[in-house]
Amino acid sequence: MALERSDLTPPGGGGEPAERPVLVIGAGINGLASAAYLARAGRRVLVLEGRNRLGGMAASVRLDDGPVVSECAHLVTALHPDVMSELGLYRHGLRFSHRRLPTMLLKPGTTLALSEDPWEAEAAIAEIAPGDARAYRRFLELVRRFHEALDPLIANPPARLGGDEAALNEAAHLLGARIGRVSERDFAALATMLAAPVAEVLDGYFASPFLKGGLAFDGVIGAFAAPSWNGTFLSFLQRRFASVSGRWGACGHPAGGLGALADAFWNAARANGAELRLNARVSRIAVDGDRVAGVVLTTGEEIAADIVVSTLHPHATFLELVGARHVDVGFAEDLAHLESRGSVARLTFVIEGLPRLGTHQDEPAPAGRFVIAPDLGYLERALTPAKFGATPAEPAVEFAIPSVHDASMQHEGRHIVTALALHAPLRAAETDETRAAFADAVTQTITRVMPDFRRRVRRAEVLMPRDIEERFGARGGHWHHIDLVPDQAWCLRPHARAAAYRGPLDGLYLAGASSHPWGGVSGLPGRGAAFAILKDRGWG
Amino acid sequence: MTDMWHAGAPQFWRRSPVTSVLAPLMGQARWRVCGGVGVPAAFSSRGEEEASLRTGAAFTDRSWLSTYLVSGAEAARLLDRVQTRDVSQLQVGHSMRTAAVDDEGRLIDLCTVYRLEEDVFQLAGEVAIGAWLARAAAHFAVALEETTGSLACLQLVGPAIGALLDALGAAQGDRLAAGAMELVEDGSLAFHLCRRGPGTPDAYEMWFSAVTAEHAMRRLLALGETVGLRPVGADAFEALRIATGQPRAFAEFEPAILARERAHARTPFACGAGGLVDLDKPFSGRRALLAAARAPAPRPVRLAIEGFAAARGQSLRAGASLVGVLTSAAVSPSRGASLALGFLDAEPAPGAALEAVGAAGPMRARILGAFEPDPGGPKPRFGRRHGDGG
């Protein structure tokens, strides 16, 4: 039956006509951020979440009768300080079990702790690669200056390309205006490096293969890419622009897992009157001409709205929920061509006691973010099997043991290890056997640097990209929905005609990880979409 | 009798399903290539062919048109999405002229949509839009089949055609309304008859299978002898198109999917086809056309130009000012002049003589009126507001 705008009823039914709520599809970090900003501005907001819990990919889940652990995302690296302060996340219950986890690069026989403190890191590097110690400080300084230059660009809405020369000029002007103060020399370096392979940039600074491999890991995690691929330095910057402690370069872990962060966002939204419905999966976004008219749930319930914020992939938003017949042919085609190829598997291990690092057999593993990527070639080789649908025998791995610093995750002497492993291919289907085989490869990889790891493992759970897609609705199991590369950044993210949080339908906004600036538990796309709504409606 | 195909047509041109019957009827080997298909430029003199079109019964081969069969539960929905008129309102057994535009509202082609059954449509046009249509159909439950080359199409024109249709066994024949269709089955001959118009009176299309095309062609020629049916070539038909003010691809506009430069493509409003755009219903490119509808557009004009030297691309001049350009031109022996279509970017100053500027010098031009494509049925009356449509 045709759905007319007048057929739709706001929640609550009859009586006095109430302000139609802004509907937010998805209670992930970005959806909750949008809700919090809109509610803070006095708007009526209703968040619709298809699953039975908050957080999307940043949720926490109880392991059978065991502890509550992060379900997918496991560390906070990209949460923007503006979001934290504007929403008062600490006031709304956010607590970190650790805010400054050092990155520890591991290979058999060698551990390199890259502390947040550059002096400590320099000293550590000097022990294994004396020639790279000073270079590391110079490199960090360059990245810091890039961060300062780019942060205004990251934290503010991008330009919109309108298809004509005037819009292009305006975008160029805005780009110039938004980039912070930067020297002529740095500008040249920035312009060169933004589209460069991370391997090429690192080769220009360092000699140590071990240091380069560990640093390059941040350029390829989350993307179907090798360090020699163009654009991976931009991904590296995104990862290194972490600032959870208020200091550049930090990464942290919320007490209770990532779900605790989602709870803080939700508390910020709820404090201003936002409403939430779990198990409310949207099957269709209703359209009236060129405007959204509301949503229809899988139960058949219709909810009227003038504004809908979708945190889903633009393909799902426009082609599945809205329907191709409501958008232009070329636009639909452009969206269909957005590639979403997840390449990260998420693993959770329950282990008996704490493992020892191979280099420090006398003491249990410390708190940290551990990275196993011994050199650039290792990362290149890890991608090759994935190109052909196979998993690597020696995956690159990032892992943490949050139960070291988060006592709530210890359970009867058992600890939790959360890991991300590259590169897991997006396959048509996964079986228990394929998952177990990859878990074994990851276990073996970690055991090479923690010799007692395998014998401590009591349980392993694996989410391959296909599993991530099915469980969280992330197209292709891709964490950022689409790769973060220069031609899918800023006013081109996710696409020129769906950039700046707006698409071709009035009232429909995009706030997912594929919107500016990126995903990765930053809250910025949700904030940007909320600001776009407030600006468009004159509510700001 | 010489087969003029072998006498004059490049062998890499495709042949129409009726070429083998028509080629021997040609007085001389003059061919035109349309849609990659070689079609006769003329069978006899232009004057004779023009007279047949105006006062007798004539036909021309239009089998080179690109045709597509769209079927399935969402066929109407798809076509409604990619066409500027409300195809969903088209009744079974009727057709309409409409337009396809890209996301920026630039014309891809002027098409004719035929509703053969509730969920079966035929789409015909001058531009090969199959790849574009397939991409547009990616998210619809439809089956898309390109039927170009597997169908033959004849266009019949002239006041005596009605008698021929009676002889062919058409139940309605010349009583068909503009845009209406009739399936005619007469023994071994079966074809769809569709009346065009209303801008071009006494014009019909015959669509039949390429498999039976030769047989149908011969039977048509045999029956046509009683009414003096004559084949006419592409040149005479082009003159008729210009005389009746029908814009076409590659003349009045460059198809947006083929245009080498953006400026070469035009919106329907900028090439006289605004009458085929229903801005009150959703379709791909509508938002761009809403903006374009408010923008100033060149004025489409039909012109008579002295002499026989008018040609596409010539400038229109009023006094010392260039005011427009010719996009199509053809000789009209009966008028003793050329007929042309063109656009005026600026209005001639009062009293300034309008001239077309050719290689041999200026030629006096006279505006006959505006032009717009035939809607292929009753004149559309837009203004309804469409809902979501489910």
Contact A325 B138 (CB under 8 A): no
Residue B147: both structure tokens together: 């039927």
DSSP 8-state symbol, A250: B
pLDDT in tens, A74-104: 999 888 889 999 999 999 999 999 988 999 9
Residues of B within an 8 Å Cβ radius of A: 77-78, 80-82, 102-104, 132, 135-136, 138-140, 282, 284-287, 385-390
Nearest by CB to A325, which of B81, B104, B285? B81
3-state SS, residue B295: coil
The CA distance from A249 to A253, in Å, is: 14
Mean pLDDT within B217-234:
93
Nearest by CB to B77, which of A5, A325, A331? A325
pLDDT of residue A41: 96
CATH of the domain at B37: 3.30.1360.120
- For residue B200, the enclosing domain spans 4-63+149-232
Q: Which residues of A touch B386 (CB under 8 A)?
A: 289
Contact A3 B388 (CB under 8 A): yes
The CA distance from A175 to A159, in Å, is: 8
Q: Which residues of B touch A497 (CB under 8 A)?
A: 103
| A489 pLDDT more than 70 | yes
Contact B284 A328 (CB under 8 A): yes
The CA distance from B29 to A443, in Å, is: 80
Q: What total number of domains does chain B contain?
A: 1
The CA distance from B218 to A400, in Å, is: 84
- Residue (of B169, B167, B172, B124) closest to B148 by Cα position: B124
The answer as to whether B133 is a domain residue is: no
Inter-chain CB pairs, A–B, below 8 Å: 66
pLDDT of residue B188: 75
| Window from A376-390, B89-103, B169-183 with minimum mean pLDDT | B169-183
Contact A325 B140 (CB under 8 A): yes
The answer as to whether B196 is a domain residue is: yes
Rounded to a whole number, what is the distance in Å from the CA of B326 to chain A's nearest CA?
Answer: 28
Pair B59, B159: CB distance under 8 Å = no
Judge whether A293 is closer than 8 Å to chain B, CB to CB. yes
What mean pLDDT, rounded, does chain A reach? 90
Nearest by CB to A336, which of B102, B138, B385? B138
| B377 pLDDT more than 90 | no
Mean pLDDT within A211-224:
94
| A433 pLDDT more than 80 | yes
Judge whether A162 is closer than 8 Å to chain B, CB to CB. no
Mean pLDDT within B20-48:
91
DSSP 8-state symbol, B166: H
| B389 pLDDT more than 60 | no
Residue A442 half-sphere exposure, CB side, CA atoms within 13 Å?
A: 32
Contact B388 A286 (CB under 8 A): yes
pLDDT in tens, A515-530: 999 988 999 999 999 9
| Cβ count near A198 (within 10 Å) | 30
pLDDT band at A9; cut points 50, 70, 90: very low
| A507 pLDDT more than 80 | yes
| A243 pLDDT more than 70 | no
The CA distance from A35 to A262, in Å, is: 12
The answer for residues whose C-beta is within 8 angstroms of residue B354's C-beta and 6 or more apart is B303, B316, B317, B318, B323, B348, B364, B365, B366, B367
Nearest by CB to A288, which of B104, B286, B387? B387
Nearest Cα residue in chain A from B80: A325
The answer as to whether B156 is a domain residue is: yes
Mean pLDDT within B262-269:
82
Contact A2 B81 (CB under 8 A): no
Cα Rg, chain A, nearest whole Å: 23
The CA distance from B379 to A258, in Å, is: 63
pLDDT band at A391; cut points 50, 70, 90: very high
Mean pLDDT within B86-111:
94
Amino acid letter for position B14 = R
pLDDT of residue A247: 56
CB contact residues (below 8 A), chain A span 3-32, against chain B: 3-5
The answer as to whether B221 is a domain residue is: yes
The CA distance from A479 to A278, in Å, is: 22
Q: Which residues of B touch A336 (CB under 8 A)?
A: 138-139
The answer as to whether B183 is a domain residue is: yes
The CA distance from B26 to B7, in Å, is: 11
pLDDT of residue B3: 64
Residue with token string 């163009």 = A230
Total residue count of chain B as it appears in this document: 390
The answer as to whether B159 is a domain residue is: yes
The CA distance from A504 to A317, in Å, is: 12
| A2 pLDDT more than 70 | no
Burial code (b: 16+ CB inside 10 Å, e: under 16) for A28-64 equals bbbbbbbbbbbbbbebbbbbbbbbeebbbbbbbeebe
Mean pLDDT within A1-14:
42
| B277 pLDDT more than 70 | yes
Nearest by CB to A329, which of B135, B387, B389? B135
The CA distance from B248 to B373, in Å, is: 9
Amino acid letter for position B228 = G
**Beta-sheet pairing, B354-358 with B361-369:** antiparallel
| B324 pLDDT more than 50 | yes
Nearest by CB to B103, which of A287, A288, A331? A331
Judge whether A150 is closer than 8 Å to chain B, CB to CB. no
Q: Which residues of B touch A323 (CB under 8 A)?
A: 139
Please name each of the domains of chain A with its CATH number. Answer: 5-9+19-96+256-338+494-537 (3.50.50.60), 116-240 (no CATH), 340-472 (3.30.519)
pLDDT of residue B5: 67
Select from B86, B101, B103, B262 the residue whose CB has the most chain A CBs within 10 Å, as the one to mutate to test that interface: B103
3-state SS, residue B153: strand
3-state SS, residue B70: strand
Contact B388 A332 (CB under 8 A): no
Mean pLDDT within A499-514:
95
Q: Which residues of A touch B132 (CB under 8 A)?
A: 329
Comparing A215 with A247, the larger pLDDT belongs to A215
Q: Which residues of A touch B390 (CB under 8 A)?
A: 1-3
Whole-angstrom CA distances from B184 to B98, B208, B312 are 25, 10, 39
Contact A287 B388 (CB under 8 A): yes
| Cβ count near B272 (within 10 Å) | 27
pLDDT band at A156; cut points 50, 70, 90: confident
Amino acid letter for position A407 = A
Nearest Cα residue in chain A from B100: A329
The answer as to whether B128 is a domain residue is: no
| Window from A163-172, B77-86, B186-195 with minimum mean pLDDT | A163-172
Rounded to a whole number, what is the distance in Å from the CA of B388 to chain A's nearest CA?
Answer: 5
Comparing B385 with A201, the larger pLDDT belongs to A201
Rounded to a whole number, what is the distance in Å from the CA of B324 to chain A's nearest CA?
Answer: 25
Contact A329 B81 (CB under 8 A): yes
Q: Which residues of A touch B139 (CB under 8 A)?
A: 319, 323-325, 332, 336
pLDDT of residue A244: 52
pLDDT of residue B315: 95
DSSP 8-state symbol, A369: E
Which among A451-460, A473-482, B193-202, B370-379 has the top mean pLDDT? A451-460
The CA distance from B150 to B143, in Å, is: 17
Judge whether A290 is closer than 8 Å to chain B, CB to CB. yes
Q: What is the ipTM of this complex?
A: 0.79
The answer as to whether B158 is a domain residue is: yes
Contact A329 B286 (CB under 8 A): no
The CA distance from A38 to A539, in Å, is: 9
pLDDT in tens, A261-311: 999 999 999 999 999 999 999 999 999 988 999 999 999 999 999 999 999
Whole-angstrom CA distances from A18 to A11, A194, A392 are 9, 48, 56
- Residue (of A121, A124, A118, A77) closest to A99 by Cα position: A77
Nearest by CB to A329, which of B136, B282, B389? B136
Contact B136 A327 (CB under 8 A): no
pLDDT of residue B290: 92
| Cβ count near A374 (within 10 Å) | 22
**Beta-sheet pairing, A22-25 with A45-48:** parallel
| B197 pLDDT more than 80 | no
Which among A179-183, B198-202, B317-321 has the top mean pLDDT? B317-321
